[in-house]
C-alpha cells in the first residue's frame, strides 16, 4: 500500500523494493536516463519492465522456501551492491556525455584509444550528433580501425591519432577512400600554393651574377669562386654602409646565406649518408639564424620541450588515463619562438615546430615523423586563435617538405603546400641551388613566420577590457579541438 501511494505521488521515481532494512535499486540504462532527463518522463515500457523486475523482494522469499533468512539477506546485499555499481557506471557515462557535449566531440574516441593502450576492454565510441561532413568521415575512418588497432602498422596508428585530433591529412595512404575524390579536390586549393616556390626576380639577378663568376673556362662550377664572389659583393655593400649609404638588407641576407652554403660545398666530395641528424640540424639552424637576425623570431634546437604538447598530454591523461603519472613535454628538434614583454615579464611563445630526420632515416621513420610534426603544430595552432594557419617544414637531411596546416571551421586541413626546399651539400647541388627556387621559398617562409609573430605579439599586448559590471557573466570559451598524443606508459615501481 505504501509503495502504491508513493508511486501515485511520484510516478517517475525509481522503483524501490523494501525488505527489513535492505534496499534494492534497479538499474536504469543510460538511454532511459537521457530520455527521463530530456523529456521529463521515462517510456511506459521501461516503467513496466522495472516494475516487474524490482518487486521480487517479498515474492522471492516465499518462492525460496527452504533458504535461511541470512542467506536471503546476503543475496539482497550482493544485488544491491551490483545495482549501485551499475548505477554509478551509468552516472559516469552520463557525465562523460555532458563533458563531450561541452568539450570536444571526439571525447569517446580518445577514451577508446586509451582503453586500447592500457589493455582495457574496448567500448566502441558512440557517434556524436551534429558532426560536419569532414568530421563524420574522420569518425567513420577511426571507428573502422579500432577493432584491429593492435594489428596496424606504426604509420597507420599515427594516422588515427591525427584523425582523432580532427585533422584532415590529405596525403595519407587512405585519404581518397576516407574523404572521397570530390572532397579532396575541394580541399587541395586551401593548401597548395604553386607560387610559393617560384624564383623571385631579385633573387635570380643576384644568384646569376654569382653563378657567372663561379664558372671556370672548362664550364666547371667552382664553389670556392662562388663564395669569393658573395664575399666581394658583401664587402662593397659594407663600404656603402660605412659611407652613409643605405644598403638593401634583403640583398645582404641572400649573399650571407650563399656564402655560408658555398663554404660547405667546397669539399671535393661529401658522403651525405654518413652525416648525422645533429650535423644537418646545425646547417639549417645557421641558415635560419641569418634569415631571422635582428627580428622578433628566434630558433632553439637540441631536443627542446614543447610546452603545448605537455598541456595536451596532461589534459588527456587526467580525462582518460586514470593513472596519475608525471607528464613531460614532447621533445622537438627545431622550434621557432617569438618573445614579447608583457606585464614586465618576457613571454616566450611557440609559433612553429620543424621536425628533423637524418639522411639515413627510413621512409617509415620519416612518415611517422610527419604525423608527429602535424600534431605538434596543431597543438601550437589551437593555442593561437589569432592565427588561421601554420606553414612548417618536415626535414630529412638537407631536404625539407613544405607543409601547411590550416583551420577550416571546426576541423583542420593539412597537406603539402609547395615544392621541396633543398640546401646544397655538393658542388652540383650548389649550382642547382642558384636557380633561386629554394632560396625564394625560404624568404617567403620568413615573411609568413614574421607576420605570424607580429599577430601573436599584438594579441598579447592588446589591452583587455574589464567587464562593465561586476556581475557580468563571462561567456564560455569556444570548444577547443584537443591534440591526441600517444598515451603515457605506466612506470614500473
Domain end: 65, 80, 99, which one?
99
Answer whether residue 147 is part of any domain.
Answer: no
Q: Are residues 208 and 92 in the same domain?
A: no
Q: Are residues 273 and 422 in the same domain?
A: yes
Domains of the chain: total: 2
pLDDT of residue 118: 85
Range of the domain at 309: 195-461
Q: Are residues 69 and 201 in the same domain?
A: no
pLDDT above 50: residue 46? no
Q: Are residues 69 and 208 in the same domain?
A: no
Tens digits of per-residue pLDDT, 241-297? Answer: 999 999 999 999 999 999 999 998 987 655 555 788 888 999 999 999 999 998 999
Tens digits of per-residue pLDDT, 66-85? Answer: 455 556 556 666 665 665 55
Rounded-to-integer distance, Cα 136 and Cα 193, Å = 27
pLDDT of residue 192: 96
Answer whether residue 264 is part of any domain.
Answer: yes
8 Å CB contact between 366 and 396:
yes
Confidence at 391, pLDDT banded by 50, 70, 90: very high
Confidence at 482, pLDDT banded by 50, 70, 90: confident
8 Å CB contact between 420 and 172:
no
Answer whether residue 24 is part of any domain.
Answer: yes
Answer whether residue 186 is part of any domain.
Answer: no
pLDDT of residue 268: 66
Residue by residue, DSSP assigns 145-205 as HGGGGGGS-HHHHHHHHHHHTTEEETTSTTHHHHH-HHHHHHHHHHH--GGGGSPPHHHHH
pLDDT above 80: residue 237? yes
Chain position carrying cell 615501481:
493
pLDDT above 50: residue 56? no
Q: Are residues 331 and 457 in the same domain?
A: yes
pLDDT above 50: residue 140? yes
| Residue in 26, 3, 1, 23 with CA at minimum distance from that of residue 14 | 26
Q: Are residues 87 and 215 in the same domain?
A: no
pLDDT of residue 10: 42
Answer whether residue 12 is part of any domain.
Answer: yes
pTM summary value: 0.75
Cell of residue 175, nine digits: 585519404
Rounded-to-integer distance, Cα 416 and Cα 197, Å = 12
- CA dihedral for 416, 418, 424, 428, sign (positive or negative): positive
Q: Are residues 91 and 213 in the same domain?
A: no
Confidence at 45, pLDDT banded by 50, 70, 90: very low
Q: What are phi and psi of 461, to 5 degrees?
A: -80, -10
Answer whether residue 144 is part of any domain.
Answer: no
Name which residue leads in pLDDT, 293 or 489. Answer: 293
Domain end: 51, 66, 99, which one?
99
Answer whether residue 116 is part of any domain.
Answer: no
- Region 42-58: what's the mean pLDDT? 39
Q: Are residues 207 and 85 in the same domain?
A: no
The per-residue pLDDT of the chain, averaged, comes to 79
Beta bridge partners of 408: 411
Q: Are residues 424 and 284 in the same domain?
A: yes
Answer whether residue 7 is part of any domain.
Answer: yes
Q: Are residues 61 and 202 in the same domain?
A: no
Domain end: 37, 68, 99, which one?
99
Helix pair 107-117, 69-102: axis angle to 10 deg: 120
Amino acid at each position: 500500500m505504501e509503495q502504491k501511494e508513493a508511486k501515485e505521488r511520484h510516478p517517475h521515481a525509481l522503483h524501490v523494493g523494501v525488505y527489513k532494512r535492505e534496499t534494492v535499486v534497479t538499474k536504469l540504462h543510460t538511454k532511459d536516463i537521457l530520455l527521463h532527463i530530456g523529456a521529463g518522463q521515462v517510456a511506459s515500457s521501461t516503467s513496466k519492465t522495472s516494475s516487474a523486475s524490482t518487486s521480487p523482494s517479498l515474492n522471492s522469499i516465499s518462492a525460496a522456501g527452504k533458504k535461511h533468512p541470512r542467506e536471503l539477506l546476503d543475496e539482497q546485499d550482493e544485488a544491491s551492491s551490483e545495482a549501485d555499481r551499475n548505477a554509478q557506471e551509468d552516472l559516469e557515462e552520463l557525465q562523460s556525455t555532458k563533458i563531450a557535449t561541452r568539450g570536444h566531440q571526439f571525447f569517446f574516441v580518445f577514451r577508446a584509444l586509451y582503453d586500447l593502450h592500457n589493455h582495457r576492454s574496448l567500448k566502441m565510441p558512440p557517434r556524436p550528433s551534429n558532426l560536419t561532413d569532414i568530421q563524420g568521415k574522420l569518425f567513420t575512418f577511426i571507428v573502422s580501425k579500432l577493432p584491429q588497432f593492435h594489428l596496424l602498422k606504426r604509420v597507420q596508428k599515427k594516422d588515427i591519432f591525427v584523425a582523432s585530433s580532427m585533422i584532415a591529412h590529405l596525403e595519407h595512404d587512405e585519404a581518397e577512400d576516407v574523404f572521397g575524390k570530390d572532397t579532396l579536390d575541394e580541399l587541395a586549393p586551401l593548401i597548395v600554393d604553386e607560387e610559393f616556390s617560384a624564383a623571385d626576380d631579385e633573387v635570380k639577378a643576384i644568384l646569376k651574377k654569382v653563378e657567372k663568376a663561379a664558372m671556370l673556362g672548362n664550364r666547371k662550377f667552382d664553389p670556392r669562386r662562388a663564395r669569393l664572389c658573395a664575399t666581394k659583393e658583401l664587402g662593397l655593400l659594407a663600404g656603402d654602409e660605412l659611407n652613409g649609404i643605405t644598403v638593401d638588407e634583403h640583398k645582404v641576407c641572400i649573399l650571407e646565406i650563399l656564402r655560408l652554403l658555398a663554404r660547405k660545398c667546397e669539399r671535393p666530395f661529401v658522403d651525405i649518408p654518413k652525416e648525422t641528424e645533429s650535423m644537418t640540424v646545425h646547417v639549417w639552424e645557421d641558415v635560419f639564424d641569418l634569415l631571422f637576425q635582428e627580428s622578433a623570431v628566434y630558433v632553439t634546437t637540441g631536443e627542446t620541450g614543447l610546452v603545448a604538447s605537455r598541456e595536451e598530454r596532461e589534459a588527456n591523461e587526467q580525462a582518460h588515463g586514470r593513472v596519475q603519472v608525471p607528464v613531460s613535454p614532447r621533445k622537438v628538434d627545431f622550434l621557432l619562438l617569438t618573445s614579447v614583454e608583457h606585464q614586465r615579464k618576457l613571454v616566450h611563445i611557440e609559433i612553429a615546430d620543424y621536425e628533423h630526420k637524418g639522411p639515413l632515416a627510413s621512409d617509415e621513420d620519416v612518415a611517422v615523423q610527419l604525423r608527429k610534426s602535424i600534431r605538434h603544430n596543431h597543438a601550437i595552432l589551437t593555442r593561437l586563435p589569432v592565427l588561421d594557419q601554420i606553414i612548417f617544414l618536415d626535414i630529412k637531411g638537407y631536404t625539407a617538405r613544405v607543409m601547411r596546416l590550416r583551420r577550416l571551421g571546426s576541423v583542420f586541413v593539412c597537406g603539402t603546400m609547395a615544392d621541396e626546399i633543398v640546401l646544397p651539400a655538393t658542388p652540383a647541388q650548389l649550382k642547382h641551388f642558384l636557380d633561386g627556387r629554394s632560396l625564394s621559398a625560404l624568404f617567403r617562409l620568413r615573411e609568413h613566420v614574421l607576420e605570424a609573430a607580429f599577430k601573436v605579439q599584438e594579441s598579447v599586448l592588446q589591452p583587455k577590457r574589464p567587464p562593465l559590471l561586476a556581475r557580468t557573466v563571462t561567456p564560455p570559451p569556444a570548444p577547443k579541438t584537443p591534440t591526441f598524443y600517444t598515451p603515457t606508459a605506466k612506470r614500473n615501481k
